[in-house]
Chains A and B, each alone.
Chain A
């Protein structure tokens, strides 16, 4: 009996850790800093606690001397060392270690040299073939020269370089314990050893490395490796701007973990996120990429690999690095069968997408709600927009006019922070004073004050006439309800970022609405509709949806489980933990889809099971978000080569890189 128990426990531990390892590292997921840490300098408004007297007292607590994290790193602050490390990294060997099963030419597609994938229209060399991107080819000799110059020499017979104080050239290398990272990490370590650089690797759990108060966010590393996820829009200011360096003084806010402050790049990336002119944005991003590669503060390694695996009989599916396969569902055809079975690695928590943005929910959401636009191949394409075009400054759908701001106006400053102008001060929702520098229409700095002129964006979003799946046409009241719920503080929405920057919203008719944004707010993606709609006519008990409080929405099964949409499919049933069954929407605006039923089969965190079912023919699609990057990916790519299924390898927008920490405490 003991044996049985012991083996059960061991088996459990092993398998649990495997399962956890498999699901743990959403290693590629971007980390956004939260702010639940100790304040070091506060002006606190303290509410009186005796209930009898309501009195607000303002107290200033002197800031304790904080460690500033500005001391240059003894080794890595020297650019020659960083460049030497770059030259010394055999990136093709790194890629080979994890994707050895790929042919050579497929592997070279994964190579990265700036922070933007090569397929993206924003990649510097796609903008300007002569962009001044510094390449760091694998060159041990060059690396040796750079290190010699930097004072790190190799003593006779030694393997590690030392400086004139005989200190060794040893650096901590930190990343997650995901097997994938340990594999290429080992190659990275031995690669640098050839140049006399010793890396002391520590492979720690993702929960610590990406934890709220540890690892990366506390800049506790010399060289730290992780992944960012490339989006259709290049990464924003929080990654590379000077004021985004996390330090104790700013509550560790920001994601510039390297501590890189290059004024030219910093300004360019801020401006790139505050102008609507695409050509100008490309020029600015090229500057940032040039500076990024020149300073070598973060070594881009490679894009990960991904694939969407599906049956050979399924036609019309579009696998894409940026868009979900379900966006093409209305075009699918499956020879000889009327039901397409999709495998999903996780059950959607809810289909109330205001609150839920996990990939699994979005995939089902696209089937039920359809899409306003797609985001194929690092770009956006209109779908439901009238005339098949986005509103723009050129076609008159958007107007960017300079307005005179006055006291009480909601204003966005040059940093992108929003506040209300009160007595010459810009105050945010928390009562904190914000910077008073804004940008005018010409892109020049202006002082934010009553009477100053700032650009104000007004956009009219127009859609094609279409109906809900119950046949009821979409109405003006539906759009109004969409805005009301999205911006209700109690609705449980993930974010109120856009709501806070909207001055007015008006549904113009059954198929369009107009948004006036706060003065100074210049979102580059203004053409994407910020708000959706709800079927205001839908009966919930004896009320209609329009009569229900927005805070109740997230608890309504009619919205979380069986929402009414305008997309190609309608939810027929949802067996919790097992499957969601959908049928074709006869009232879909593009016409009823050819595939009559779609079943979303849940394979909870079991990609191997999903792949086995695909090979067995009981499942037709395994999306990239379910397949992951492990053994199953290799299996489907090999099966693709044999011709049993389709699973073309795609360079993922998720890219691995090693950051250099330029400062220490």
Chain B
């Protein structure tokens, strides 16, 4: 078991490393970024001075080779000249280029070398340049655009609460509702109840949250209000002013009822969307189990139907269910990008989308990396859980 865990953990670290490098390189290769931001921030009457461009490049390490840039992001090194025993190690190591072009390097011995860079950056030029402690020390650096110069971890912290609340609640509700419906649908296969929920399930998974969310706002927030019915807010996590709604009366801004009032619509939309999948899964898993010999045996023993279903069938049907939990972990963190956007929910999914549109690479990469890590850990957890709930499976 320990060996297995160590091996799996090594795989996770390697995978996370590869994925983070690829996403790092891809993001920086994409168009946009701080330099174009600089250009667009300035007026039509002039263009950025070369020294302004260089300042920005240095500030965001854009002048460094991608590998060096990645290393500084990952481990916070290299930070400047490397001196061992008073001797500077490879002082002429070029780590980047501040200004493309051509230049000649003339060495003291008269040797001339031509390089494809008008302003090379050497290791020692990194002396004193601000750098994070590296991702491995859980320092994700500072935001470049969304919250200029603020630590990324702080930015993520402020969004974590609302996302966990939204995702946790909707996932819990979805599972809590899906299990009885799935079980009942399987037991009463091809009944009216089954058809109804099967149809609803397909409808739920077929309707994107973008659609159900907007429809929900239109109906429950705007039309209900116009009709004088108790209505729901059109978005956000809390109110800015006290609101009086019909029947329920005054809701004070920022109180618990206010928060619950704001949660209803987004949680319903998300629950409806994921409910379908969970129900279908429980139903098919249950159907499979119900055909097993041990269920027939249980019935033949004369056990009452409720015990057969709940004790003998359901518990076995839930075994594959554990594998699905692997996907829950990253989604609890990652949030629901669309739902959060539609409801202006101050969550992490939205932060990610914003960081992409604003080319705020440190934030985007932090999100990708944490999601990657949680996905991999989720798989490991579900594999371990599998051996616990299913004694037929052993780790090796």
Contact = CB atoms under 8 A, between A and B. Distances in A.
Interface of A: 1, 3-4, 7, 10-12, 14-16, 18-20, 23-24, 26, 29-39, 42, 44, 46, 48-53, 55, 57, 59, 61, 207-208, 211-212, 214, 228-229, 231, 233, 235-239, 253-255, 273, 337, 339, 341, 346-347, 349-350, 352, 355-358, 416, 429-430, 489, 492, 494-497, 500, 554-555, 560, 575-579, 599, 601-606, 608-610, 612-613, 615-616, 618
Nearest to A554: B149
A604 B344 contact: yes
Given A349-B147, A618-B234, 20 more contacts: A4-B274, A4-B277, A7-B206, A19-B341, A24-B357, A26-B40, A32-B48, A34-B36, A34-B53, A35-B48, A46-B106, A48-B108, A273-B45, A350-B147, A500-B49, A560-B148, A577-B351, A578-B346, A579-B240, A603-B344
B396 interface: no
Contact of A51 (B35, B88, B274, B337): B88
B146 interface: yes
B354 interface: yes
B281 interface: yes
A610 B154 CA distance: 26
B377 interface: no
B341 A15 contact: yes
A28 to B, nearest CB: 10
B148 to A, nearest CB: 4
Interface string B90-106: 01100000011111111
Given A7-B208, A238-B46, A33 B103 contact: no
A606 to B, nearest CB: 5
B44 A231 contact: yes
A35 B118 CA distance: 13
A12 B356 CA distance: 14
Nearest to A208: B31
B148 A355 contact: yes
A33 B47 contact: yes
A268 B355 CA distance: 43
B394 interface: no
A497 B41 contact: no
15 contacts: A7-B206, A11-B209, A16-B353, A19-B341, A31-B39, A42-B118, A53-B108, A61-B102, A207-B31, A350-B148, A494-B52, A500-B49, A602-B346, A604-B344, A618-B240
B353 A19 contact: yes
A613 B222 CA distance: 9
B221 interface: yes
A238 B44 contact: yes
A111 B350 CA distance: 38
A7 B356 CA distance: 22
Interface hub of B44, B124, B162, B346 (most chain A Cβ within 10 A): B44
A449 B338 CA distance: 64
A612 B234 contact: yes
B44 A602 contact: no
B45 A42 contact: no
B75 interface: no
Contacts, number: 281
B234 A44 contact: no
Sorted nearest first, the 4 A-B pairs with minimum C-beta distance are A236-B45, A4-B277, A11-B208, A39-B101
Contact of A236 (B46, B222, B357): B46
B159 interface: yes
A15 B32 contact: no
B235 interface: yes
B42 A494 contact: yes
Interface hub of B42, B102, B338 (most chain A Cβ within 10 A): B102
Contacts of A57: 104, 106
Given A49-B92, A496-B52, A601-B236, A38 B101 contact: yes
Contacts of A233: 45
B324 interface: yes
Given A3-B205, A15-B210, A19-B357, A606 B101 contact: no
Contacts of B45: 233, 235-238, 273
B379 to A, nearest CB: 15
B40 A32 contact: yes
B235 A48 contact: no
A417 to B, nearest CB: 10
Interface string B9-46: 00000000000000000000011100110111111111
B305 interface: no
B40 A30 contact: yes
B44 A32 contact: yes
Interface string B219-262: 00110010000010111111111010000000000000000000
Contacts of A237: 45
Nearest to B107: A50
A36 B35 CA distance: 9
Interface string B182-222: 00000000000000000000100110111000100100011
B338 A11 contact: yes
Contacts of A576: 147, 154-155, 158-159, 346
Contacts of B92: 49-50
A478 to B, nearest CB: 23
A341 B241 contact: yes
B367 to A, nearest CB: 14
Contacts of B46: 32, 236, 238, 416, 497
B92 to A, nearest CB: 5
B103 A255 contact: no
Contacts of A349: 143, 145-148
Contacts of A61: 102-104
B210 A606 contact: no
B122 interface: yes
B302 interface: no
Interface string B134-168: 00000000010111111000110011001000000
B342 interface: yes
Contacts of B72: none
Nearest to B346: A577
Given A212-B31, A496-B49, A604-B350, A616 B233 contact: yes
Interface hub of A1, A429, A492 (most chain B Cβ within 10 A): A1
Interface hub of A416, A492, A606 (most chain B Cβ within 10 A): A606
B148 A356 contact: yes
Contacts of B234: 609, 612-613, 615-616, 618
A216 to B, nearest CB: 12
